Structure 1
Amino acid sequence: MITEFGHFALILALVMALAQTVLPLVGAQKGWGNWMAAAEPAATAQLVFLVFAFAALTWGFVASDFSLRLVTLNSHTDKPLLYKITGVWGNHEGSLLLWCVILALYAAMAAWFGGNLTPSLRARVLGVQGAVSVAFLSFLIFTSNPFLRLASPPLNGEDLNPLLQDPGLAFHPPFLYLGYVGLSMSFSFAVAALIEGRVDAAWGRWVRPWTLAAWLFLTVGIALGSWWAYYELGWGGFWFWDPVENASFMPWLIAAALLHSAIVVEKREALKNWTILLAILAFGFSLIGAFIVRSGVLTSVHAFANDPERGVYLLIITGVFMGGALTLYAARAGSMQAKGVFGLASRETALIANNVLLAVAAFVVFVGTVWPLVAELVWDRKLSVGPPFFNAAFTPFMVALAAILPIGAMMPWKRARMGRVMQPLWGVLALSVALGGFVWVVQTGGAMLAPVAAVLASWLILGALAELWTRTRRADGIGGQLRRLRNLPRADWGKAVAHAGFGVTLFGIGAMTAWTVEDIRVAKIGEPFEVAGYTVELRDVRRAAGPNYTATRAAIAIGRDGRQVALLHPEKRVYPVARMPTTEAAIDGGITRDLYVVIGDPQDGGGWAVRTFVKPFANWIWAGAIVMALGGVLSLSDRRHRVAAGARSARRTTVPAE
C-alpha cells in the first residue's frame, strides 16, 4: 500500500509542478500578485509529495518488496542495508526520481529564501524551475515509473550491479545530482532575467550563490567518482576520460566560468550577455550528461541505462529548454548593454581570459566525447578518442589558467599597472621556479611534467597567500595585519582556498602521472620481488566469504629496508546472484605515496598474476578537491551571499528591454 501512495504522490507532484509553472509566469506577465504568490506553496507541496514518493521507494528496497519490478532488478535479501538503500538510486528509474526530488528542493529553497527578490523575478524563476520539473516528472511517470508492480513476484531479487556496491558509489550520485540539478537554478535565473529584459548587479549577486552551491556539489561528486575509479576498478588510475566522466566534468568547467563572470556582472555590470549564455550552457551540459548516461549512445563503464526511447525523450527535453532559452537570448541580447568600461590590463580582462580558457577547455572535452558518435553517424566509421587526445588538447588550457589566476586575483578593477600588480608576486614566482628546479633535480632530469606541475602548484598556493597578505598590509604592524586577515570576508578566504586547492590537485596529478611505477608479474607464494625500492611478497591466497559474495583473498607483505611496511589483502570477488566478478585493490595510503596491489587469476605454471603500483602523491589529487570544496563552503557562508538582494536599493540600476 505504501508504494501505491508513493505512485499517487508522484502524480500529485506533477500537478503541483504544473501549477508552479503556469500560475507565477502568467501572474508575473499580468501583474497579478495572488497568482505570483501561488508559486511558493506549489513549490513546497511538490517537494513534500516527491520526498514522500522517494521515501516509499526506499521502504520498498529496505523491506525487499519484490513485487516492485525495480526492487527485483536491483536488490537482494542478502545485500547489506547500506546498499539496499543506495540501490534506490543505483538504477535509471530511482536516480531519475532523485533528480526530480533535488529539482523540487532547489525550487522550494528559492521560494523560502528568495524573499528579497523582486516579486516578478522570483515568480519567473520559480515558474521556469517548475517547467523543468514538469518535463522530468513527465519523463519519470510515463517512461520510467519506479513503482511498476510484477504480477508474479519472485522469491528474491537479481541484486545490484556489484561495481555499485561500494561506499564511494553510495554517495557519489547524490552529490553529483546536487551539482547537475543545481545548475537548473542558474538556468532559471537566466531565463527569468531574459523574460524581464533586465540584468543588473543585483541579478549577478543573486545568481552566484546558486551557481556556487552547484559547483561545490559537483566538485565533491566528481572527486568521489574519481576516488572510486581509482580503488575499485583495479586499474590504478584516477581519470580515464570516459564519456560519463566527461559528462560531469563539462558542466563543472562551465560553472567555474559562470562563477567568475557573475562577479564581473555584480561588480562592474559588464559581461551580461556572456554570463547569461554561460548560465544557459551550464544546465545544457547537465542535460547532455543525462542523455549520455541514460541513452546508451556512448559506451561507458559508468552508464546504467541503455534505452534509445528514453534517449529520444531526453533529447526532446534538451532541445525544448536549450532551444527556447537560446531563442529568447537571441531576442533579448541587444537590451543587455554593458555599463562598465575597463582597460586592457584590469581584473575584468583577467576574468575574461579565465572564462575563455574554461569555456574552450569544456568545448575540447565535448568534441572529444561526441566525436565517435558523429563519425559513426556521418561516415559510418568506428572511432575511439582516448586519453592521448584529451591530455594533449586539454592540458595547455589548464596550464594557462593556472598561470593567470594569481595575477588576475591581484589586479584592481577598471585599470591596473602591471608593474605594481607583479611587485608582490616576483618573489612568489622565483620561489615557485626554484621549487620546480628542485623537483627536476630530485628526479634526476627526465620528463618535465612533474617539475612543471610543482611550479604551477607553488605559484597558485603561494600566490593565493600573497594576495591575502598584500590586501591586509598596513603600517600598524603584523598584529594589525593578522586582525585584518581574520576579518576578511569569507568569500575572499574562499577564493584563496579554492585556488590553493586547485594547485594541490595539479601537483598530485603531475606527480602521480610522472612518477608512478607499475609492475605486472606472476608471483609465487614465498618468493619476494623488488618494485621501486620496496620488497613485495605474496604470502598466502585463500577463499573468503562476504555477505553476498565469495572472494579469493591474497595476503601480500610489503617491506623496505628490512622492515614490513604494510600487509595488504587484495581480493577478486564473485557475486553469484549478479554472476559478475569484481577486482578489489588493496592500498596502503600515505601523504607522499600509495602502495597499490591487485591480485589476478591463477596461472598454469603455478603462482598468481599480481599487479603492483607505487603511486607518489596520489592522495593529493583528492585532498586538493576537498580543499577546493572547502573554499566553496567558505564563500557560500559569506553573509553577502545570504543577503544577496541587499544590493537592491534605491540606487539600483537596471537595463530595461528595448
Structure 2
Amino acid sequence: MIPEIGHFALILALLLGVIAATVPLYGAARTNGRLIALSGPLMLGQFLFVAIAFAALMHAYLISDFSVLNVAENSHSLKPVLYKISGVWGNHEGSLVLWVLILTLFGSLVALFGRALPPSFRARVLAVQAMIAVAFLLFMLFTSNPFERLLPAPLEGRGLNPLLQDPGLAFHPPLLYLGYVGLSVAFSFAVAALIEGRLGPVWARWVRPWVLLAWMALSAGIALGSWWAYYELGWGGWWFWDPVENASFMPWLAATALLHSAIVMEKRDALKRWTVLLAILSFSMSLLGTFLVRSGVLTSVHAFAVDPERGVFILILLGVSIGGSLALYAWRAQALEPGGLFAPISREGALVLNNVLLSIAAAVVFVGTLYPLFLDTLTGAKVSVGPPFFEISFVPLMSLLLVALGFGPLLAWKRGNLSRAAKLLWPAITTAFIAVLLAWIIWGAGPVMAFAGFGLAGWLLGAIAVDMAQKAQIGRTPFAKALRRLFGLPRGVWGMWLAHLGLGFLVFGITASESWTVEKLVLLAPGDTVAVGAYDMTFQGVEPVAGPNYTAVRGQFSVQKNGAFLTDLYPEQRSFSSPPMETTEAAIYPLIGGDLYAVVGDPDGDGRWSARLYFKPLISWIWLGVCLMVLGGAFSLSDRRLRVGAPKRKAKSLPQKPLMDPAE
C-alpha cells in the first residue's frame, strides 16, 4: 500500500508542477496578483508530495519490500542499514526521486526566502523551477517508475553493487545532486530575467548565494568521489578523467566562472550578458552529466542506466531546455544594457581573465569527453581521449589562472596599476622560490613541471599573505591595530582567502603525489620486507575474516622507519555474494608528508601474495585543499552582504529599490 501512496504522490506532484509552471507565469504576464501569489504555495505543495514519495521508497528499502522491483534489484536483507538507505539513490530510478526532491526543495527555499523579490519576477523563477521538475517527473513516471511492483515477490533481493557499499559513496551522490540541482536556481533566475528583459546588480547579489551553495556542494561531492576512488579501487589514483568524472567537473568549472562573473556584475553593473549565459551553461552542463550517466552511451561504475529509450527521452529534455534557453538568450540578450565600463588592467579585468581561462578549461573538458562519443556515433571509429590529452591542455590554463589569482586582489576596481601590484608581490615570488627549493631538498630531481607546480602554489600562498598584509595595513599601522583590522574584515574577504589557500594546497598535493610517488609491485612471502621510500614494509601474512555481508582475505604489513615500529596496515580483498563481486580495500596510513598505501592481491600458488605498495607524498593535501575551499565558501555565504539579496522593508512609506534595473 505504501508504494502505491508514493506513486500517487508523484502523480500529484506532477499535476501541481504543471499548474505551477503555467498559471503564475500567465499571471505575471497579465499582472494578475492572485495568480502570481499561487506560485509559492504550489511549489511548497510539489515539494511535499515528492518528499512523501521519497519517504515511501525509503520505507520500502528499510523493510526490504522485494515486491517493489527497484528494491529487489538493488537491495538485500543482509545489507547494513546505511547501505539500505544509500541504496535508495544508488540506482537510476531512486536517484531520480532524490534529484526531483532536491529540485523542489530549492524551489521551496526560493519561495520562502525570496519574498523580497518583485512578485512577478519571483513567480517566473518558480515557474521555471516547476517546468524542470515536471520534465523529470514525466521522465520518471513514464520510463523509470521507482514503485513498479514485482509479483510474485522474490524471497531475497539481488543487492547493491559492492563498490557502492561504502560510506564515501553513501554521501557522494546527494552532495553532487545538491550541486547539480542547486545550479537550477541560477538557471531559473537567468530565464526569468530574460523573459522580463531586465537585469541589474541586485540580480547578481541575489543569485550569487545560490550559486555559492551549489558550488560548495559540488566541490564536496567531487572530492568525496575522488577520495572513494583513491581508497576503494586499489590503483592508488584519485582521478582518471573518466567521462562521468568530467561530467561533474564541467559544471564545477562553469559555476566557478559564474561566481566570479557575478562579482563584476554586482560591483560594476557589467558583464550582464556573459553572467546570464554562464548561469544557463552551468545548469546545462549538469543536464549533460545526467544524459551521460543515464543514456547508456557510457559503461562506467558511475553509470545508472543502459536503456537507449531513456537516453532518447533525456536527449529530448536536454534539447528543449538548453536549446530553448539559448534561443531565449539570443532573442533577449541584446535588450540588456552593457553596464559599467572598466579598464583592462583592473580588478574587473582580472576577473574577466579568470572567466576566460575557466571557460576555455570547461570547453577543453567538454571536447575531450564528448569527441569519442561523437566520432563513434558518426563513423563507428573507437578512440580514447585519456589523461595525457587533458594534462597537456588543462595544466597550462590552470597555471595562467594561478598567476592571475596573485595579481587580481591587489588591483583596484575600475582602473588598476599593474606595476604597483607587481612591486607588492615580491614576497610571493620569494615564497615561490622557497617552495621549489624545499621540493628539491625533500625529493630531489623530478619533472620540470613538478617544480613549476610547486612554484605556482607557493606564489599563490605568498600572494594571499601580501593581500592580507595590505588590507590590514601591516607595517603602516601599529601591529595590534593591524590585527584588529585584519580580523574585522568582512567574512566574504576571508572566504576568498580560504578558497584560494585551499587551491594552493590542492596544487601542492596534486603536484607532489603525481611526480614523486614511490610504487612497488611485488610478490611477497610472510616475513619479506620491502623498502618503500624512507619506510620498510614487512609482510606478516594473510588471514580470513568475515564482514556483515562479505568474506575477506586480510593482509598485514608492519611498517618501520629507521628501525622503529610505526604502524600496521591491514588491506583486504573482499568477496560479496549478492551480487557476486570481489572488491579491494586499501590500507592507508596518512602522514603530514604523505600516505603509506598497501593493497594485497592474489596468491601465486607458491606461498607468496601479490602486493601493491606506495608512498604518495602530500596526497592528503588534495582533500585538505578542497575542505578549505568549501570552508571559504561557507565563510562567504555567512557574510550578510552576500547572503541577503535585497534590502528588507523598514517602513512602508520608504521607496524600495527594485531588484531588476530597467534595460531601456
Measure the CA separation in 2 of the matches of 1:122 and 1:423: 48
Q: 1:526 is matched with which residue?
A: 527
Q: 1:234 is matched with which residue?
A: 234
Contact 1:336 1:655 (8 Å CA) reproduced = no
Q: 2:379 is matched with which residue?
A: 379
Matching of residues 532-571 of structure 1 within 5 Å: 532-571=533-572
Q: 2:148 is matched with which residue?
A: 148
Contact 2:74 2:159 (8 Å CA) reproduced = yes
Contact 1:197 1:655 (8 Å CA) reproduced = no
Shift of 1:434: 2.7
Measure the CA separation in 1 of the matches of 2:43 and 2:290: 23
Shift of 1:654: 5.6
Q: 2:173 is matched with which residue?
A: 173
1:117 correspondence with 2:141 = no
Q: 1:96 is matched with which residue?
A: 96
- Point out the more displaced range, 508-517 or 290-299: 290-299
Listed as ranges, the gaps of 5+ residues in structure 1 are: none
Q: 1:453 is matched with which residue?
A: 453
1:635 correspondence with 2:636 = yes
Measure the CA separation in 2 of the matches of 1:215 and 1:583: 31
- Point out the more displaced range, 463-472 or 195-204: 463-472
Measure the CA separation in 2 of the matches of 1:292 and 1:172: 18
Measure the CA separation in 2 of the matches of 1:484 and 1:274: 35
In the superposition, the TM-score normalised over structure 2's length comes to 0.97
Q: 2:351 is matched with which residue?
A: 351
Q: 1:67 is matched with which residue?
A: 67
- Point out the more displaced range, 155-164 or 422-431: 422-431
Matching of residues 456-475 of structure 1 within 5 Å: 456-473=456-473
SS at match of 1:589: strand
Shift of 1:12: 1.0
Flag the 1:380–1:367 CA change in 2: closer, same or farther, 3 A.
Answer: same
Matching of residues 613-628 of structure 1 within 5 Å: 613-628=614-629
- Point out the more displaced range, 451-460 or 95-104: 451-460
Measure the CA separation in 1 of the matches of 2:332 and 2:640: 32
Shift of 1:647: 9.6
Q: 1:325 is matched with which residue?
A: 325
Q: 2:292 is matched with which residue?
A: 292
Q: 1:315 is matched with which residue?
A: 315
- Point out the more displaced range, 98-107 or 548-557: 548-557
Contact 1:175 1:217 (8 Å CA) reproduced = yes
Q: 2:607 is matched with which residue?
A: 606
1:215 correspondence with 2:215 = yes
Q: What one-letter code is carried by the residue in structure 2 that aligns with 1:234?
A: G
Contact 2:600 2:611 (8 Å CA) reproduced = yes
Q: 1:25 is matched with which residue?
A: 25
1:509 correspondence with 2:497 = no
Shift of 1:23: 1.7
Measure the CA separation in 2 of the matches of 1:441 and 1:497: 28
Measure the CA separation in 2 of the matches of 1:348 and 1:275: 13
Measure the CA separation in 1 of the matches of 2:542 and 2:644: 61
Q: 2:652 is matched with which residue?
A: none
Measure the CA separation in 1 of the matches of 2:115 and 2:487: 31
Measure the CA separation in 2 of the matches of 1:252 and 1:369: 15
Shift of 1:506: 0.7
Flag the 1:437–1:426 CA change in 2: closer, same or farther, 3 A.
Answer: same
Contact 2:103 2:133 (8 Å CA) reproduced = yes
Shift of 1:433: 2.1
Shift of 1:604: 3.0
SS at match of 2:539: strand
Contact 2:203 2:660 (8 Å CA) reproduced = no
Shift of 1:233: 0.4
Q: 1:498 is matched with which residue?
A: 499
Measure the CA separation in 2 of the matches of 1:66 and 1:50: 22
Q: What do you get for the CA RMSD once the two structures are aligned?
A: 1.5
- Point out the more displaced range, 284-293 or 418-427: 418-427
Listed as ranges, the gaps of 5+ residues in structure 2 are: 650-654
SS at match of 2:357: helix
Q: What one-letter code is carried by the residue in structure 1 that aligns with 2:579?
A: A
Contact 1:549 1:576 (8 Å CA) reproduced = yes
- Point out the more displaced range, 307-316 or 167-176: 307-316
Contact 1:549 1:575 (8 Å CA) reproduced = yes
Shift of 1:348: 1.2
Q: 1:485 is matched with which residue?
A: 486
* Count of matched residue positions in the alignment of Structure 1 and Structure 2: 658
SS at match of 2:591: coil
Shift of 1:333: 1.4
Contact 2:202 2:660 (8 Å CA) reproduced = no
SS at match of 1:645: coil
Q: What one-letter code is carried by the residue in structure 2 that aligns with 1:555?
A: Q
Measure the CA separation in 1 of the matches of 2:118 and 2:17: 21
Q: 2:598 is matched with which residue?
A: 597
SS at match of 2:647: helix
Q: 2:256 is matched with which residue?
A: 256
Q: 1:241-276 CA distances to partner (integer Å, 9 max, x unpaired)?
A: 001100000000000000000111111111111111
Contact 1:505 1:624 (8 Å CA) reproduced = yes
Shift of 1:451: 2.1
Shift of 1:444: 2.6
Task: Give the ranges of 4+ consecutive aligned residues of structure 1 lying more than 3 Å apart after TM superposition.
Answer: 647-658
Q: What one-letter code is carried by the residue in structure 1 that aligns with 2:417?
A: R
In the superposition, the TM-score normalised over structure 1's length comes to 0.98
Measure the CA separation in 2 of the matches of 1:476 and 1:215: 37
Measure the CA separation in 1 of the matches of 2:440 and 2:277: 43
Contact 1:435 1:458 (8 Å CA) reproduced = yes
Matched residues, percent identical?
Answer: 53
SS at match of 1:535: strand
